[in-house]
Chain A
């Protein structure tokens, strides 16, 4: 199961699911990380955390731990 935390720089993937139902997951969903949406990994902060993504036309920064809740489907891999 690959997650947003595993996505490498420059790659794009589609969101499959966001795990959990607590405040953090709700936040991720509200900010647009819903199943089916495309996300591109842009980079990481100096110490490797947090990460920066592009989603729905804007930039979002998320911690690695939080990003790990978002399951992705690699559009290049036949599912």
Chain B
């Protein structure tokens, strides 16, 4: 196991810059998730750490070893690919043992280590099968087994769950997390699914257009997003962002005339254009005299909670209530944002103001 340091990385494809001066420290044994919309450079970054893409500027360190000029095979890093990339002409056992065979590990020891990994991942029954005879989840497990069996310094995951169905994805999420807790290997995990990142990672790195927007623990990112992009990206359903202007007396006026309180202690020049962010669970359903009038558009009960898509002034908002709500589309309801849970972002720069 080792830490991974990325220092002032840059990457260009022809005239286009994919990564801009990116620096990140991944501690020994840490599970770090890279999230961001497609094209943000997260897979490129992962492939640079793997050695599958060249580093244009900056350096990558594994522990104290500089990796820039080291071939992928000498990096002692294992990678799980999005499409699994299992060798179709080899059995599961051969797939698992391939790296060991290349290392010159004796057949007896190889079998021992393959069996051990098969036991961890519950693959014992499948060792003689070819990848084509496996289901998606089984293939996924073999791909992980192939990474584990080498006992590498670090794991890289490139959207490993995106080809699985929803139920299996949740199950594999738990398995990967349990595996990390058991092995404690430094892990870099790329995903576009922020729920995966939230549930699995020790720390999350949010990328946009080749720049880091924020690094932090899942709850730091959720509770105190550094800018409007992170606020909108982390959390499902996404944070409501209302366009508003600062007003006299510690209040803001939304563009369609609703008056809302500002978080305590925040002083803004009148007229300052802001995004007012409020998470769906902080938009409470109240009695008519206490809140803002909204019109129900869609109700989505999930059993445990109810999602309410409503029209507040001229803007669409989503509220989540733990209560069972019986309302028809088109009917009125009152919503009250919790003042101490409000997020305020500058409209021009997107930066957090409170």
* Same assembly: no
